[in-house]
């Protein structure tokens, strides 16, 4: 069955025209400004391979079938995921990484690049409707090997052109904390600090949850085993780590994340999908480093010796090819801070606090979703009468991904596409494409069973 959509608009924006052109849809040149979106040619794979039924969506990716929906076995407040390998049969509950979305009664799904499934949750708040379930990304492949189990990873979609996170490394006492504090003080709405976990004791004036999450080794080790950490390392005799959540809360606040982590951590993040800018801060001399460390007065003599010893190794490792993008020498603090701002393109910047935010979508229960290339068209409305709300979601500039958020979703509303001129959609509210119905499932206690 092919469905037809009729759009009416006097002035289509370039974006919508592009979208139409990509789909090779017909644009009427006659008196009545209208164009008809008919069935799409076969050379545009529609990306749909699912059946959304009630609370569940079934998606086929390669040899595997993913059942997404209902609630999680362990936590009733998050969406559940089951996987079946067509070659072996049977259903397994995978290891699920990342912060999980809350359940939704209406889920649409689109496969992207065969390695992730884009999920749209109807009836969800604007900041909670776009999610990615990674099923075969490099991160998932690595974790699958590590855990020896089936693994999937959730990553929330963030609308807008979020800038890359910043990783700052350098030996103890070089001035990382001082530089980061200055940046956060001057640009409080731009930057957010990734609050690490550590097993070291708090220093005077350090607050739990602000400077670090101070924790017990056994607790942190268990959380690492549960896959809650983006990276972790043993540094100066203590365990330090960046939880996935620490990075996500910064992204959720619409801020650019700064991570203060050691060289081992930087290497792990480099190997992850975080796509950060890596900066190493060097001391002007070893003597000056020792002087600063002593003057800070936060470590015992034994701890100072250990840190100085480790500094030599860190300075050596930092030289390794391709690890750091920038090296900064922190001799004079003001000069170094100015260089940091310059490399982050902030030297002329005055923080704009109320920057206009990208349009948000209130995705209703009734919506239909179509995919052409990397663009998704969402039309909202009932079967009988689609409403005038159309959203075009451009996924061609995605950045990041699990662990953490998937950034760079571009969204155009019908308003932004047509400069406020009415866009009417007529039709039966079905998808533009034929949607392949696989099978309908319902979840029973023992796992999903096929409905007759």
Ligand X SMILES: Nc1nc2c(ncn2[C@@H]2O[C@H](COP(=O)(O)OP(=O)(O)O)[C@@H](O)[C@H]2O)c(=O)[nH]1
Ligand Y SMILES: Nc1ncnc2c1ncn2[C@@H]1O[C@H](COP(=O)(O)OP(=O)(O)O)[C@@H](O)[C@H]1O
Residues in the interface with ligand X (CB under 6 A) total: 18
Query: Which of ligand X, ligand Y, none sits in contact with 241, Cβ below 5 to 8 A by type?
Result: ligand X
State the Cα–Cα distance between residues 82 and 441, nearest whole angstrom.
Answer: 11
Q: How far is the CB of 224 from ligand Y (least distance, A)?
A: 24
**CA atoms of 303 and 116, how far apart (whole Å):** 45
CA angle 365-366-367, nearest 5°?
A: 110
Per partner kind, with CB cut-offs from 5 to 8 A, the member of ligand Y, ligand X, none near residue 333 is ligand Y
Q: Residue 240 binds which one of ligand Y, ligand X, none, with CB within 5 to 8 A depending on kind?
A: ligand X
Query: H or E stretch including 222?
Result: helix 217-225
The residue from 170, 192, 227, 265 that contacts ligand Y (CB under 6 A) is 170
DSSP letters for 358-425? PP-----SSEEEEEETTEEEEEEE-SSSEEEEEEEEE-TT-EE-SSS-EEEEEEEEHHHHHTT---EE
| Under rule CB under 6 A, residue 177 binds ligand Y | yes
Is 203 catalytic? The answer is yes
Q: How far is the CB of 322 from ligand Y (least distance, A)?
A: 23
Q: How far is the CB of 247 from ligand Y (least distance, A)?
A: 19
Interface with ligand Y (CB under 6 A), residue from 295, 352, 450, 451: 295
Residue with token string 């650019």: 256
Active site residue 256: no
Burial 83-116 (b: 16+ CB within 10 A, else e): bbeeeeeebeebbbbbbbbebbebbbbbbbeebb
Contact 135, 116 (CB under 8 A): yes
- DSSP helix/strand/coil, 127: helix
Find the residue with minimal CB distance to ligand X: 265
Q: How far is the CB of 8 from ligand X (least distance, A)?
A: 54
Which of 100, 256, 307, 407 is flagged as catalytic? 307
Residue from 260, 366, 394, 430 touching ligand X (CB under 6 A): that is: 260
Q: Is 303 in the site for ligand X (CB under 6 A)?
A: no
Which residues sit at the interface with ligand X, rule CB under 6 A? 169, 172-173, 177, 196, 200, 231, 233, 235-236, 240-242, 260-262, 264-265
Which residues sit at the interface with ligand Y, rule CB under 6 A? 170, 172-178, 292, 295-296, 330, 332-333, 336
């Amino acid at each position: 069955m092919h469905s037809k959509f009729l759009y009416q608009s006097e002035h289509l924006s370039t974006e919508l025209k592009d979208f139409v052109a990509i789909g090779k849809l017909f644009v009427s040149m006659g008196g009545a400004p209208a164009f008809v979106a008919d069935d799409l040619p076969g050379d545009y794979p529609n990306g749909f391979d699912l059946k959304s039924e009630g609370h569940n969506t079934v998606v086929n990716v390669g040899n595997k079938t993913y059942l997404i929906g209902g609630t999680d076995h362990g936590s009733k407040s998050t969406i559940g995921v089951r996987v079946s390998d067509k070659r072996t049969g049977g259903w397994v509950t995978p290891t699920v990484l990342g912060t999980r979305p809350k359940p939704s009664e209406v889920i649409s799904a689109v496969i992207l690049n065969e390695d992730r499934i884009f999920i749209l949750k109807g009836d969800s708040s604007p900041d909670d409707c776009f999610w990615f379930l990674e099923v075969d990304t490099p991160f998932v492949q690595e974790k699958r090997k590590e855990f020896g189990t089936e693994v999937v990873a959730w990553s929330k979609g963030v609308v807008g052109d979020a800038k890359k996170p910043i990783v700052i490394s350098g030996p103890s006492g070089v001035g990382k904390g001082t530089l980061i504090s200055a940046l956060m003080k001057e640009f409080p709405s731009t930057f957010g600090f990734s609050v690490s976990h550590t097993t070291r004791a708090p220093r005077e004036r350090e607050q739990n949850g602000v400077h670090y999450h101070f924790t017990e080794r056994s607790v942190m080790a268990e959380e690492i085993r549960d896959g809650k950490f983006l990276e972790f390392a043993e540094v100066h005799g203590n365990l330090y780590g960046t939880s996935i959540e620490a990075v996500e809360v910064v992204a959720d606040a619409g801020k650019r994340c700064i991570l203060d982590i050691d060289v081992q951590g930087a290497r792990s993040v480099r190997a992850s999908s975080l796509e950060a800018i890596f900066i190493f801060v060097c001391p002007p001399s070893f003597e000056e480093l020792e002087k600063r460390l002593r003057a800070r007065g936060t470590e015992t003599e034994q701890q100072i010796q250990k840190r100085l010893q480790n500094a030599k190794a860190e300075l050596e490792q930092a030289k390794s090819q391709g690890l750091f993008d920038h090296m900064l020498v922190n001799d004079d603090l003001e000069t170094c801070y100015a260089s940091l701002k310059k490399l982050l393109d902030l030297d002329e910047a005055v923080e704009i606090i109320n920057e206009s935010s990208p349009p948000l979508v209130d995705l209703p229960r009734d919506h239909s979703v179509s995919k052409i290339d990397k663009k998704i068209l969402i039309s909202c409305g009932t079967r009988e009468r689609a409403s005038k709300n159309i959203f075009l979601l451009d996924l061609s500039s995605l950045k990041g991904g699990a662990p953490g958020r998937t950034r760079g979703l571009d969204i155009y509303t019908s308003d932004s596409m047509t400069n406020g001129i009415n866009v009417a959609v007529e039709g039966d509210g079905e998808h533009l494409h034929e949607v392949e119905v696989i099978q309908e499932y319902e979840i029973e206690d023992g796992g999903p069973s096929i409905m007759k």
